[in-house]
Amino acid sequence: MESLTPVLDIVRKLRGDNGCAWDRKQTPQSMLRCLIEEMYELQDAIVANDVPNIQEEMGDVLFQLVFIIEMYQERLEISYDDVVRQVCEKMIRRHPHVYGDSSVDTEDQLLTAWDRIKQEEKAAKKAADCENREHTGPTVQSVLDDIPSGMPALSRAWQVSKKAVKAGFDWDDMAGVLGTLKDEVREFEQAHQEGSEADILLEIGDIFFTAVNVARFAKVYPETALAASTSKFEGRFRTMEQVLEKKGKALKSLSREEVDRLWEEVKNNPGIAR
Protein backbone atom coordinates (compact mmCIF):
# COMPACT_ATOMS: atom_id res chain seq x y z
CA MET A 1 0.00 0.00 0.00
CA GLU A 2 3.06 2.30 0.27
CA SER A 3 2.75 3.41 -3.35
CA LEU A 4 -0.86 4.44 -2.69
CA THR A 5 0.03 6.53 0.35
CA PRO A 6 0.49 9.80 -1.63
CA VAL A 7 -2.89 9.26 -3.32
CA LEU A 8 -4.55 8.57 0.02
CA ASP A 9 -2.94 11.66 1.53
CA ILE A 10 -4.27 13.85 -1.30
CA VAL A 11 -7.79 12.43 -1.06
CA ARG A 12 -7.85 12.91 2.71
CA LYS A 13 -6.56 16.46 2.44
CA LEU A 14 -9.15 17.32 -0.20
CA ARG A 15 -11.89 15.81 1.98
CA GLY A 16 -10.56 17.44 5.16
CA ASP A 17 -11.82 20.53 7.00
CA ASN A 18 -9.34 22.78 5.21
CA GLY A 19 -9.66 20.99 1.88
CA CYS A 20 -11.86 21.53 -1.15
CA ALA A 21 -15.56 22.29 -0.72
CA TRP A 22 -16.41 20.42 -3.93
CA ASP A 23 -14.53 17.29 -2.88
CA ARG A 24 -16.04 17.34 0.63
CA LYS A 25 -19.62 17.31 -0.67
CA GLN A 26 -19.13 14.39 -3.05
CA THR A 27 -20.77 11.01 -2.46
CA PRO A 28 -20.01 7.54 -3.88
CA GLN A 29 -22.98 8.02 -6.20
CA SER A 30 -21.77 11.37 -7.53
CA MET A 31 -18.21 10.09 -7.98
CA LEU A 32 -19.43 7.07 -9.91
CA ARG A 33 -20.04 9.32 -12.91
CA CYS A 34 -16.44 10.52 -12.72
CA LEU A 35 -15.16 6.96 -12.51
CA ILE A 36 -17.20 5.90 -15.55
CA GLU A 37 -15.95 8.89 -17.57
CA GLU A 38 -12.33 8.11 -16.66
CA MET A 39 -12.84 4.46 -17.64
CA TYR A 40 -14.01 5.51 -21.10
CA GLU A 41 -11.00 7.80 -21.45
CA LEU A 42 -8.76 4.90 -20.49
CA GLN A 43 -10.50 2.74 -23.08
CA ASP A 44 -9.82 5.37 -25.76
CA ALA A 45 -6.14 5.49 -24.79
CA ILE A 46 -5.80 1.70 -24.89
CA VAL A 47 -7.57 1.43 -28.26
CA ALA A 48 -5.21 4.09 -29.65
CA ASN A 49 -2.22 2.35 -27.99
CA ASP A 50 -1.22 5.78 -26.63
CA VAL A 51 1.09 4.59 -23.84
CA PRO A 52 1.74 7.98 -22.16
CA ASN A 53 -2.00 8.65 -22.15
CA ILE A 54 -2.72 5.12 -20.89
CA GLN A 55 -0.48 5.82 -17.91
CA GLU A 56 -2.24 9.12 -17.20
CA GLU A 57 -5.73 7.64 -17.53
CA MET A 58 -4.80 4.68 -15.32
CA GLY A 59 -3.81 7.18 -12.68
CA ASP A 60 -7.13 8.99 -13.05
CA VAL A 61 -9.08 5.73 -12.69
CA LEU A 62 -7.01 4.76 -9.65
CA PHE A 63 -7.63 8.15 -8.05
CA GLN A 64 -11.40 7.84 -8.52
CA LEU A 65 -11.39 4.35 -6.99
CA VAL A 66 -9.34 5.47 -4.00
CA PHE A 67 -11.61 8.49 -3.57
CA ILE A 68 -14.71 6.26 -3.48
CA ILE A 69 -13.14 3.76 -1.07
CA GLU A 70 -12.13 6.61 1.24
CA MET A 71 -15.72 7.85 1.43
CA TYR A 72 -16.90 4.41 2.53
CA GLN A 73 -14.04 4.20 5.00
CA GLU A 74 -15.08 7.53 6.49
CA ARG A 75 -18.47 5.95 7.21
CA LEU A 76 -16.73 2.90 8.75
CA GLU A 77 -18.52 0.70 6.19
CA ILE A 78 -15.55 -0.46 4.10
CA SER A 79 -11.81 -0.31 4.74
CA TYR A 80 -8.87 -0.42 2.35
CA ASP A 81 -7.54 -3.47 4.15
CA ASP A 82 -10.85 -5.31 3.70
CA VAL A 83 -10.98 -4.45 -0.02
CA VAL A 84 -7.43 -5.72 -0.55
CA ARG A 85 -7.94 -8.79 1.65
CA GLN A 86 -11.14 -9.80 -0.11
CA VAL A 87 -9.79 -9.53 -3.65
CA CYS A 88 -6.58 -11.37 -2.70
CA GLU A 89 -8.55 -14.20 -1.10
CA LYS A 90 -10.80 -14.39 -4.15
CA MET A 91 -7.95 -14.52 -6.68
CA ILE A 92 -6.07 -17.15 -4.67
CA ARG A 93 -9.24 -19.21 -4.30
CA ARG A 94 -9.94 -19.02 -8.03
CA HIS A 95 -6.41 -20.14 -8.96
CA PRO A 96 -6.03 -23.47 -7.17
CA HIS A 97 -3.75 -24.66 -9.96
CA VAL A 98 -1.29 -21.96 -8.88
CA TYR A 99 -1.84 -21.72 -5.12
CA GLY A 100 -3.10 -25.27 -4.48
CA ASP A 101 -2.72 -28.84 -5.63
CA SER A 102 -5.07 -28.70 -8.63
CA SER A 103 -3.79 -28.93 -12.20
CA VAL A 104 -5.20 -27.84 -15.55
CA ASP A 105 -3.91 -28.79 -18.98
CA THR A 106 -5.98 -26.56 -21.24
CA GLU A 107 -7.56 -23.13 -21.22
CA ASP A 108 -11.01 -24.73 -21.38
CA GLN A 109 -10.27 -26.67 -18.20
CA LEU A 110 -9.05 -23.46 -16.58
CA LEU A 111 -12.22 -21.55 -17.49
CA THR A 112 -14.44 -24.45 -16.41
CA ALA A 113 -12.75 -24.53 -13.01
CA TRP A 114 -13.03 -20.74 -12.71
CA ASP A 115 -16.77 -20.85 -13.42
CA ARG A 116 -17.29 -23.72 -10.98
CA ILE A 117 -15.55 -21.83 -8.19
CA LYS A 118 -17.57 -18.69 -8.97
CA GLN A 119 -20.80 -20.69 -8.77
CA GLU A 120 -19.72 -22.17 -5.43
CA GLU A 121 -19.00 -18.64 -4.15
CA LYS A 122 -22.39 -17.39 -5.34
CA ALA A 123 -24.20 -20.33 -3.76
CA ALA A 124 -22.45 -19.77 -0.44
CA LYS A 125 -23.20 -16.04 -0.54
CA LYS A 126 -26.85 -16.63 -1.41
CA ALA A 127 -27.20 -19.14 1.39
CA ALA A 128 -25.70 -16.67 3.85
CA ASP A 129 -27.96 -13.88 2.61
CA CYS A 130 -31.03 -16.08 2.98
CA GLU A 131 -30.00 -17.06 6.49
CA ASN A 132 -29.43 -13.44 7.44
CA ARG A 133 -32.90 -12.52 6.14
CA GLU A 134 -34.40 -15.63 7.76
CA HIS A 135 -35.65 -16.54 4.29
CA THR A 136 -37.09 -20.04 4.07
CA GLY A 137 -38.98 -19.94 0.76
CA PRO A 138 -37.72 -21.31 -2.58
CA THR A 139 -35.49 -19.15 -4.75
CA VAL A 140 -35.27 -19.15 -8.53
CA GLN A 141 -31.68 -19.04 -9.73
CA SER A 142 -30.49 -18.16 -13.20
CA VAL A 143 -27.03 -18.14 -14.71
CA LEU A 144 -27.85 -14.54 -15.72
CA ASP A 145 -28.51 -13.32 -12.16
CA ASP A 146 -25.11 -11.72 -11.57
CA ILE A 147 -24.95 -9.66 -14.79
CA PRO A 148 -25.20 -5.94 -13.88
CA SER A 149 -28.26 -4.35 -15.46
CA GLY A 150 -26.48 -1.01 -15.83
CA MET A 151 -23.75 -2.27 -18.17
CA PRO A 152 -23.41 -0.70 -21.64
CA ALA A 153 -25.70 -2.59 -24.01
CA LEU A 154 -22.93 -4.24 -26.06
CA SER A 155 -21.09 -5.40 -22.95
CA ARG A 156 -24.31 -6.70 -21.41
CA ALA A 157 -25.15 -8.60 -24.61
CA TRP A 158 -21.65 -10.11 -24.51
CA GLN A 159 -22.08 -11.22 -20.90
CA VAL A 160 -25.61 -12.60 -21.45
CA SER A 161 -24.36 -14.58 -24.46
CA LYS A 162 -21.36 -15.99 -22.59
CA LYS A 163 -23.54 -17.07 -19.68
CA ALA A 164 -26.08 -18.69 -22.01
CA VAL A 165 -23.30 -20.54 -23.81
CA LYS A 166 -21.94 -21.94 -20.57
CA ALA A 167 -25.44 -23.22 -19.79
CA GLY A 168 -25.49 -25.05 -23.16
CA PHE A 169 -27.20 -22.54 -25.48
CA ASP A 170 -25.09 -21.73 -28.54
CA TRP A 171 -24.59 -22.04 -32.29
CA ASP A 172 -22.51 -24.91 -33.56
CA ASP A 173 -19.96 -22.77 -35.35
CA MET A 174 -19.20 -19.41 -36.97
CA ALA A 175 -21.15 -20.38 -40.10
CA GLY A 176 -24.24 -20.90 -37.98
CA VAL A 177 -24.10 -17.54 -36.24
CA LEU A 178 -23.28 -15.76 -39.51
CA GLY A 179 -26.31 -17.42 -41.05
CA THR A 180 -28.46 -16.09 -38.21
CA LEU A 181 -27.00 -12.62 -38.73
CA LYS A 182 -28.02 -12.74 -42.39
CA ASP A 183 -31.50 -13.87 -41.37
CA GLU A 184 -31.78 -10.97 -38.92
CA VAL A 185 -30.78 -8.49 -41.64
CA ARG A 186 -33.48 -9.89 -43.91
CA GLU A 187 -36.04 -9.61 -41.10
CA PHE A 188 -35.00 -6.00 -40.55
CA GLU A 189 -35.41 -5.27 -44.25
CA GLN A 190 -38.92 -6.73 -44.09
CA ALA A 191 -39.79 -4.68 -41.01
CA HIS A 192 -38.41 -1.54 -42.66
CA GLN A 193 -40.51 -2.13 -45.76
CA GLU A 194 -43.63 -2.60 -43.60
CA GLY A 195 -42.83 0.58 -41.67
CA SER A 196 -43.48 -0.77 -38.16
CA GLU A 197 -41.34 1.30 -35.78
CA ALA A 198 -41.65 -1.28 -33.00
CA ASP A 199 -40.55 -4.12 -35.29
CA ILE A 200 -37.73 -2.02 -36.75
CA LEU A 201 -36.42 -1.33 -33.25
CA LEU A 202 -36.48 -4.99 -32.27
CA GLU A 203 -34.94 -6.21 -35.53
CA ILE A 204 -32.07 -3.73 -35.29
CA GLY A 205 -31.53 -4.96 -31.74
CA ASP A 206 -31.48 -8.56 -33.00
CA ILE A 207 -28.82 -7.60 -35.56
CA PHE A 208 -26.66 -6.04 -32.83
CA PHE A 209 -27.14 -8.99 -30.47
CA THR A 210 -26.25 -11.51 -33.16
CA ALA A 211 -23.25 -9.42 -34.24
CA VAL A 212 -22.03 -9.55 -30.64
CA ASN A 213 -22.09 -13.33 -30.92
CA VAL A 214 -20.19 -13.18 -34.20
CA ALA A 215 -17.56 -11.21 -32.28
CA ARG A 216 -17.62 -13.83 -29.52
CA PHE A 217 -16.95 -16.63 -32.01
CA ALA A 218 -14.11 -14.53 -33.44
CA LYS A 219 -12.76 -14.01 -29.88
CA VAL A 220 -13.08 -10.24 -30.23
CA TYR A 221 -14.59 -8.07 -27.48
CA PRO A 222 -17.36 -6.04 -29.18
CA GLU A 223 -16.88 -2.84 -27.15
CA THR A 224 -13.21 -2.74 -28.11
CA ALA A 225 -13.96 -3.56 -31.75
CA LEU A 226 -16.61 -0.86 -32.00
CA ALA A 227 -14.39 1.67 -30.24
CA ALA A 228 -11.57 0.96 -32.70
CA SER A 229 -13.89 1.18 -35.70
CA THR A 230 -15.44 4.41 -34.45
CA SER A 231 -11.99 5.88 -33.85
CA LYS A 232 -10.95 4.91 -37.39
CA PHE A 233 -14.04 6.56 -38.86
CA GLU A 234 -13.51 9.66 -36.75
CA GLY A 235 -9.92 9.99 -37.95
CA ARG A 236 -10.91 9.69 -41.60
CA PHE A 237 -13.82 12.09 -41.21
CA ARG A 238 -11.59 14.68 -39.56
CA THR A 239 -9.16 14.31 -42.45
CA MET A 240 -12.01 14.92 -44.91
CA GLU A 241 -12.91 18.08 -43.00
CA GLN A 242 -9.32 19.31 -43.18
CA VAL A 243 -9.07 18.62 -46.92
CA LEU A 244 -12.31 20.47 -47.60
CA GLU A 245 -11.30 23.38 -45.37
CA LYS A 246 -8.13 23.87 -47.43
CA LYS A 247 -10.27 23.89 -50.58
CA GLY A 248 -12.77 26.30 -49.05
CA LYS A 249 -15.60 23.82 -49.45
CA ALA A 250 -18.26 22.40 -47.15
CA LEU A 251 -19.16 18.72 -47.02
CA LYS A 252 -22.83 19.50 -47.60
CA SER A 253 -21.96 21.18 -50.91
CA LEU A 254 -20.55 17.97 -52.41
CA SER A 255 -22.51 15.50 -54.47
CA ARG A 256 -22.81 11.88 -53.33
CA GLU A 257 -20.22 10.87 -55.92
CA GLU A 258 -17.78 13.56 -54.75
CA VAL A 259 -18.19 12.48 -51.11
CA ASP A 260 -17.52 8.85 -52.01
CA ARG A 261 -14.48 9.80 -54.07
CA LEU A 262 -13.02 11.94 -51.28
CA TRP A 263 -13.66 9.20 -48.75
CA GLU A 264 -11.75 6.68 -50.86
CA GLU A 265 -8.88 9.15 -51.24
CA VAL A 266 -8.69 9.60 -47.48
CA LYS A 267 -8.83 5.83 -46.91
CA ASN A 268 -5.98 5.20 -49.34
CA ASN A 269 -3.92 8.21 -48.33
CA PRO A 270 -4.37 9.13 -44.63
CA GLY A 271 -1.79 11.93 -44.90
CA ILE A 272 -3.63 13.72 -47.69
CA ALA A 273 -4.54 16.68 -45.47
CA ARG A 274 -0.91 17.54 -44.68
Residues 6+ apart with CB under 8 A from 160: 144, 147
* % of residues, the chain, pLDDT over 90: 65
Q: What is the pLDDT of the chain when averaged over all its residues?
A: 89
* % of residues, the chain, pLDDT over 70: 94
Convert the pLDDT of each residue in 37-72 to its tens digit.
999 899 889 988 899 999 999 999 999 999 999 999
Q: What per-residue confidence (pLDDT) applies to 90?
A: 92
Q: What's the mean pLDDT in 124-132?
A: 71
Cα-trace Rg, the chain: 25
Out of 16-25, 65-74, 84-93, 148-157, which region has the weakest mean confidence (pLDDT)?
148-157
Residue 216 pLDDT > 70: yes
Q: What per-residue confidence (pLDDT) applies to 124?
A: 81
Residue 28 pLDDT > 80: yes
CB atoms within 10 A of CB 230: 12
Q: How far apart are CA 120 and CA 90, in angstroms?
A: 12
pLDDT band at 140 (very low <50, low <70, confident <90, very high): low
pLDDT band at 115 (very low <50, low <70, confident <90, very high): confident
CA atoms within 13 A on the CB side of 84: 6
Domains in the chain (CATH in brackets) are: 2-78 (1.10.287.1080), 153-220 (1.10.287.1080), 225-273 (no CATH)
The answer to whether 61 and 69 are in contact (CB under 8 A) is: no
Residue 274 pLDDT > 70: no
Residue 134 pLDDT > 90: no
Burial 232-261, CB ≥16 within 10 A → b, else e: eeeeeeebbeeebeeeeeeeeeeeeeeeee
Residue 137 pLDDT > 80: no
Q: pTM to 2 decimals? A: 0.61
Q: What's the mean pLDDT in 77-85?
A: 91
pLDDT band at 254 (very low <50, low <70, confident <90, very high): very high
